[in-house]
Copies of this chain bind each other. A is one copy, B any other.
């Protein structure tokens, strides 16, 4: 009989992360300081522990996962690879739809895959307290969990719109002992400045990042650092365990490489985590379509240029080479809070520039429709972020049917939506609508990076 779930023994868990920076046809361009010069590791030291900064700038292809990190990840990893046979039947598609089920982590998403190593490296470096931001709440939940398991303090600045929409999120962070406040808050200068200008702002990831960095670097004990849940190289690195496991599991399922790889993309980490080990194959000649899916309301890859821009609203981070809508852009308060970010991870951005990945954008209504189809076939409630991947999966499966091709589709089920039911409720009661960022608004915030240096749009043109 054909299994619908493919497991790995714990002993078969990947022991190393995969670093795409080693294989990108065009080397990554460095982050720049306010003076336009490349940022040195020492300049990042007030923000991150040095061991993570070393990972951030590493170009080693394989990086060992510490034993103690694996010991914690074993709580839920290896995560299952599953096949969506019920959705396949419903769509009457010849495509085979596989997904990595990252919803099985205690926090309900892929985020603990990096929260755990980040907390571990911080602890190794003697840090006692970690600050962070969270959008939908998934990352804050994950870091709370990791800090709790590691005996560290955790402070979370949660984007206000999500804080209000998802009250259970702060409760679960409370169970794991974290301190969670709505952002913008009055606890930081960045927060107070924004509140003075826009007292009713729904907040944004960019603002919350500014607050969390400020809270870390202004702590006089020197024992506080900041952790980011996406975007940075070391975060994407930690997530590659997803794709590395998926490769082994696809083999168990009797498949070679997938024809299509899909992940939703906010900052880029769940997408990269699944996709990068397959981008490696594509670089080495395999034929494959790889789709990061973003919301039409925050279309940085499909409409934003590849530029140098800040990662946060207040401009506290170095300039990163990435697709950006401008660091002052505040996305519409869609329910997929984890996709409300103005920029895209530099590694994903460069892969897009190279043509290794082809971004897609979907509207909120089509994504909820896909989520409902999923709930009524596969049975589970997906996160609003994940629904973006599912909407694209359904389109591709229908296309495979139209073409009569038995394609293998692999996507990342990045999280469950059990704490995001308010969005479903609003969708079902007709309170939601679509919003695509108009081209005129795409230009509007580009002034925020107009005076920064320009990265070279290097492209080898092979893909």
A413 within 8 A of B: no
- Those of A237-258 within 8 Å (CB) of chain B: none
CB-based nearest B residue for A11 = B1
User: Which chain B residue has the least Cβ–Cβ distance from A169?
Assistant: B421
A98 to chain B, nearest CB (A): 15
Partner of A381, one of B4, B10, B106: B106
Interface residues of A in 371-388 (CB under 8 A from B): 372, 375-376, 378-381
Given contacts A5-B10, A75-B379, A168-B168, contact A174 B428 (CB under 8 A): yes
Cα-based distance from A145 to B9 in the complex (angstroms): 31
Contact assessment for B10 and A1 in the assembled complex, using a CB-CB cutoff below 8 Å = yes
With A148-B375, A171-B425 known, 17 other A-B pairs at CB within 8 A are: A1-B11, A3-B10, A3-B11, A4-B74, A5-B7, A7-B7, A75-B379, A76-B379, A148-B376, A168-B168, A168-B419, A171-B421, A172-B381, A174-B425, A175-B375, A175-B381, A177-B376
| Chain A 176-193 near chain B by CB (<8 Å), digits 1 or 0 | 110000000000000000
Interface residues in A403-442 (C-beta closer than 8 Å to B): 418-419, 421-422, 424-425, 428
Residue from the list B3, B86, B174, B428 in contact with A424, Cβ < 8 A: B174
Q: What number of copies of this chain does the assembly contain?
A: 2
Query: Is A344's beta carbon under 8 Å from chain B?
Result: no
Closest Cβ of chain B to A34, distance in Å, is 40
Pair B175/A424 contact, Cβ less than 8 Å:
yes
Q: Is B106 touching A380 in the complex (CB atoms < 8 A)?
A: yes
Whole-angstrom distance from the CB of A254 to the nearest CB of chain B?
A: 14
Complex Cα–Cα for A452 and B7 (A): 54
Does A108 belong to the interface (CB within 8 Å)? Answer: yes
Please, which residues of chain B bring their CB within 8 A of the CB of A7? 5, 7
Interface residues on A, range: 35 or more
Query: What's the nearest-Cβ distance from chain B to residue A421, in Å?
Result: 4
Q: How far is the CB of A71 from chain B (nearest CB, A)?
A: 9
Chain B residues near A108 (CB, 8 Å)?
418
Cβ–Cβ < 8 Å partners of A43 in chain B: none
Is B421 a contact partner of A175 (Cβ separation < 8 A)?
A: yes
In the bound assembly, the distance between CA atoms of A9 and B418 in angstroms comes to: 27
A window 144-196: CB within 8 A of B: 145, 148-149, 168, 171-172, 174-177
Instruction: Give the chain B neighbours of A4 by CB distance below 8 A.
Output: 10, 74-75
What residues of chain B lie closer than 8 Å to A136, measured between beta carbons? none
Interface residue A104 (Cβ < 8 Å from any Cβ of B): yes
Pairs A-B, 10 closest by C-beta atoms = A106-B379, A171-B421, A1-B11, A106-B380, A171-B425, A168-B421, A7-B7, A418-B418, A3-B10, A75-B379
B419 contacts A418, CB within 8 Å? yes
A413 to chain B, nearest CB (A): 12
Q: How long is the Cα–Cα vector from A108 to B419 in the complex, in angstroms? A: 12
B residues less than 8 Å from A74 (CB atoms): 4
**Residues of chain A in range 96-135 having any CB-CB distance to chain B below 8 Å:** 104, 106, 108
Contacts A/B (CB < 8 Å), 16 sampled: A1-B10, A3-B9, A4-B75, A75-B378, A75-B380, A106-B378, A108-B418, A148-B376, A168-B168, A171-B421, A172-B381, A172-B424, A174-B424, A175-B424, A176-B375, A418-B419
Which of A75, A424, A425 has the most chain B CB within a 10 Å cutoff? A75
Alpha-carbon distance A123/B8, docked complex (angstroms): 37
Chain B residues lying within 8 Å of A422, measured Cβ to Cβ, are 171
Which of chain B's residues have a CB closer than 8 A to the CB of A177? 376
B372 touches A175 (CB 8 A): yes
Q: Distance in Å from the Cβ of A371 to the closest Cβ of chain B?
A: 9
Contact of A149 with B11 in the complex, beta carbons under 8 Å: no
Given A174-B425, A372-B175: A379 in contact with B5 (beta carbons within 8 A):
no
